[in-house]
Amino acid sequence: MKRLLEARKWMKKNEEFLPTWHAHVGYSLDLFDHFAKGAKVQEVQRKQELDEALLKRWVEVGLAIGHLKKKRNGKVKSHKEMTRYISRHSPYSVGVLLTEMMELHIPTLLSYKDAMKGKERVSYLEKDYGPIVAQTSSLLEALAFPKLMEVIKKNKASSILDMGCGYGGYLSRIYEKNPDLKLTGIELHEEIVKEAKEQTKQTNVEIIQGDIQDFYTKEYKSDIVMMNNLLYYFSMEERQDLFKNAKELLNKKGRLLIMAPLQNSKHGQAFSAAFNSFMSAHENLYPLPSEKEIKSYAKKSGLKVKKVSPIIKEGGWYLIEVAK
């Protein structure tokens, strides 16, 4: 009986996973859009050339958990929350987070036991997942941006360099508030650079393709250098070099701003521990930094950590302000 009760407990825990799985499938195949105005399963199946039996099962789950609702004449309609927040065509969509979780994080964590037994660790394929990660990172911007603007105003910055700028989201937001600033972003991946240039073409933001480990030129010395969601791509030795390069790129009294999840942090320990496990399961990714480590990198580079502010407490994400 105790065994059955324990099994029942874990089965109930699995119910919590269903909404995420269902939303991910719906986002990936645009199903919430297809059912947005109400449609019969057979209609959607024929138009989208989907497996009818599997589509029916997906609809059944959606009805059971409230993502879909039954209408008259056998039609099914998406809940308005799903078309607003889990549709790739909605400006409010967070569906890409589900893609990263379901297609990148969970498969990696499922391979964790094999890696523990000494089998080859998985390799993070930046060309496949770089655009997805860039999109999910951009979702953090709304929360981090106000804190970033505080530093810009406080230090009366006139130039900003974003190392690993992704699609240039932070720089675009800064331009909207301060169009007279000199704004530069450097990004490694060619496809992301092309999209970043397209998204910033109506601004004075300059996007450069290059490796931040090799990037140094007096022309781009700035009052503020940003390194957001980057440190786990680099080993301990490489991180120290990044801090030294950042110092050389900073003007007098400049500020290095780092946004990153921290291990052993005051907030979000469960998420950061799981994220750290994900990183460690890859052969080409590295553990999350701790606040103590960042202070050590800064000190060895002639810099000093001035402030550590939580951005997303649940995720253990922080903004670290480092002074020259």
Residue 15 lies in a domain: yes
Give yes or no for a contact between 220 and 270, defined as CB atoms under 8 angstroms apart.
Answer: no
pLDDT in tens, the chain (324 residues): 889 899 888 888 888 899 999 999 999 999 999 999 999 999 999 999 999 999 999 999 999 999 999 998 889 999 999 999 999 999 899 999 999 999 999 999 999 999 999 999 988 876 677 778 777 777 777 788 899 999 999 999 999 999 999 889 899 999 999 999 999 999 988 888 999 999 999 999 999 998 888 877 778 899 999 999 889 999 988 999 999 999 999 999 999 999 999 998 888 888 889 989 999 999 989 999 999 999 999 999 999 999 999 998 888 899 999 998
Q: How many residues does the chain have?
A: 324
Q: Is residue 120 part of a domain?
A: no
Domain extent at residue 286: 132-323
Q: Give the per-residue pLDDT at 51.
A: 97
Helix or strand (DSSP H, E) at 86: none
CA distances from 243 to 117, 248, 297 (A): 35, 9, 7
- Mean of the per-residue pLDDT values for the chain? 91
- Do 175 and 277 belong to one domain? yes
Instruction: Note whether 89 and 140 are same-domain residues.
Output: no
Q: Are residues 140 and 88 in the same domain?
A: no
pLDDT given for residue 128 in this prediction: 75
- Alpha-carbon distance of 258 to 318, in angstroms, equals 8
Strand, coil or helix: 155? coil
Q: What is the reported pLDDT for 110?
A: 93
Cα torsion 223, 262, 104, 240: sign: positive
Q: Name residues whose C-beta falls within 8 Å of residue 11's C-beta, 6 or more positions apart in sequence.
A: none
| Domain membership flag for residue 164 | yes
pLDDT at 12: 86
User: At 145, is the secondary structure helix, strand, or coil?
Assistant: helix
Domain presence at residue 18: yes
Q: Rounded to an integer, what distance in angstroms lies between the CA atom of residue 288 and that of residue 270?
A: 13
Q: Which residue has the tokens 């290059």?
A: 210
182 and 66 co-located in one domain? no
The answer to whether residues 161 and 283 belong to one domain is yes
- Position 65 in a domain: yes
Pick from 171, 23, 168: nearest CA to 94: 23
Q: For residue 315, what is the domain's CATH number?
A: 3.40.50.150
Say if residue 55 is in the same domain as residue 199. no
pLDDT tens across 95-106, in order? Answer: 999 999 999 999
**Is 294 contained in some domain?**
yes
Q: Is residue 99 part of a domain?
A: no
CB 187 within 8 A of CB 164: yes
Where on the phi/psi map is residue 156: left (φ > 0), alpha (ψ -120 to 50), or beta? left
> 262 φ, ψ to 5°?
-115, 140
- Burial class from Cβ neighbours inside 10 Å (0-12, 13-18, 19+) for residue 257 reads buried
Q: How far apart are CA 69 and CA 301, in angstroms?
A: 59
151/293 same-domain check: yes
Boundary-marking domain end, from 64, 93, 122: 93
Q: State pTM to two decimals.
A: 0.80
Q: In this structure, are 242 and 183 located in the same domain?
A: yes
Q: Are residues 70 and 161 in the same domain?
A: no
Q: Looking up tokens 């879909």, which residue turns up?
A: 68
| 117 in a structural domain | no
Q: What is the pLDDT of residue 126?
A: 67
The count of structural domains within the chain is 2
Residue that finishes a domain, picked among 35, 66, 93: 93
Do 89 and 144 belong together in one domain? Answer: no
The answer on 180 and 72 residing in a single domain is: no
Strand order in the sheet with 304-312: 206-209, 182-187, 159-163, 222-228, 250-261, 317-323, 304-312
Same domain, 139 and 22: no
